[in-house]
Structure formats: C-alpha cells, structure tokens
Amino acid sequence: MNSAETAIKIRTRDLDFYYGAARALKKVSVDCHDRKVTAIIGPSGCGKSTFIRTLNRMNDVIAGTRVDGEILIDGQNINAPEVDVVELRRRVGMVFQKPNPFPKSIYDNIAYGLRINGMRDRRKLEETVEKSLRGAALWDEVKDRLDENAFALSGGQQQRLCIARSLAVEPEVILFDEPCSAIDPIATAKVEDLIERLKSTYTVVIVTHNMQQAARVSDYTAFMMLGELVEFDQTEKIFTNPANKLTEDYITGRFG
C-alpha cells in the first residue's frame, strides 16, 4: 500500500500545545489518511491524549490552554476564527476512555445527538437509532430494552453505545481516546472488530497504550514520547522495521 494512494483527511503541521506554561506537544506533524485507522502510541504522559483532543478542539473546555501550529481537516484550519467549533465536533466524533453514556435511556442516548441537531420526526429518529446501534454491533443485544437506562448495560456494551451515539450524527472522523482501557478483553475484541468495520466509512484515529491493539487495528502508527512525534509510518513498518532506535526499544518492551 502506498501512502499516496489515499487522500489525507487530517494534517497537523508543527502542532504545539500548552497547558498554561507547560508545553505538552512539540512540533507534532502527522497525516491521517481518509478511511484508514491511525494509531497513536507512546508511554503515559507522552501527549497522545492531548494530541487527539486537539483534533476536535475538546481541549477548548480546559481553561488556560493554547494551540500553535496548524491542524487541517480537508484543508481547512480548524483553529481559524471563522470555524464553528460546534459544527467541527459534529464532523469529528469522539469516543472516550471511560464509557460515558448519559444517565438516560439507551434510546435517548443515541437520539441525543439527533435531537440537538433539530431532528423531531419520530420515525426518522427511530430509524437512525436502529441504524446506529446496528453500526456499533449492539442492536441485537439491546433492541428489546431501548427504554432501559444505559447504566444497566455492561461496560463493554456502554462503550459500544457511546460509539453508536457518535455514529448517529454521521461524522466523517471518529477519534478513539483509549477506548478499551476500561473494559474487559472480550469486549475489547468486539470494539476492535467494530473499528475494523468502521474504517470503510470513517477516518479513525485511535490513541492506545496497548501496542498489540495498535498493530491489530491500525494502518498507520505514530509513536510519541515526551510531547514529540518520534516516528510516523505505516503500522507494518513501525512494528517490523522501525527507523528510530527509541521506537524499536518501545515496541519491543524495553521501556514504557
């Protein structure tokens, strides 16, 4: 596979990020290809979560943060003043580390994103809820109890519900921030299968501290350390023939 074959969906150039005076990202430049899975790996505190949260400007909600450099999605700088952050987040969905369904019914969790965008038609809502739950491979497990509170689901089911919830608003990109760190191995396998299927429709960026997971699900891998991008390449290359000594040490488990 040649990287020139697919279009680039997200491109960051010399991305710096500051929490107050602390610099969490240093000149990070990564290209995320359209309808491919890009994994971000690295030891704890390397800035991988910070990085993924800059892509939908989720860090905006934290006071005293600052971004330098460029993040282009479809060529558009998402930090430009004319960009509507609400619209951006609708296009760039996010699944968080800990499953975070709303304290509402399963149905209402999915319908939430549709309702805030003004969808009122009951039939259409029902259709989209079903489609989204099918898309997240959860429909068969919950179709008879859509009115139940989402907290009644298991952790893995809750995480797939959160994925379904982001699918409902039909984003172009889905960001996964360590989506499997709080769920068991069987549930993890299900989420990984799901990511594999999602990439036919969506551009996926996934942060993970689990290298096997990155190797299994991703097409491209970025290895970060101390806020810097150490190496970025096709996943196969990173895991079989890394160019950088640090990368090799990390993926062979010599540190981290």
Distance CA 48, CA 61 (A): 18
| Interacting span for other proteins (CB under 8 A) from 97-105, 213-221, 224-232, 243-251 | 97-105
Strand partners, 163: none
- Residue 19 binds to other proteins (criterion: CB under 8 A): no
CB atoms within 10 A of CB 229: 22
| Interacting span for other proteins (CB under 8 A) from 89-97, 129-137, 216-224, 241-249 | 89-97
- Residue 145 binds to other proteins (criterion: CB under 8 A): no
Q: What track of x and - describes contact with other proteins for positions 49 through 88 (by CB under 8 A)?
A: -------x-x--x-x----------------------xx-
Per DSSP, 46 falls in state S
- Residue 90 binds to other proteins (criterion: CB under 8 A): yes
Distance CA 66, CA 95 (A): 23
- Residue 13 binds to other proteins (criterion: CB under 8 A): no
C-alpha of 88 from chain center: 14
- Residue 5 binds to other proteins (criterion: CB under 8 A): no
Distance CA 58, CA 177 (A): 12
C-alpha of 66 from chain center: 21
Binding stretches for other proteins (CB under 8 A): 56, 58, 61, 63, 86-87, 89-91, 93-94, 96, 98, 100-104, 112-113, 115-117, 149, 151, 162, 165-166, 169
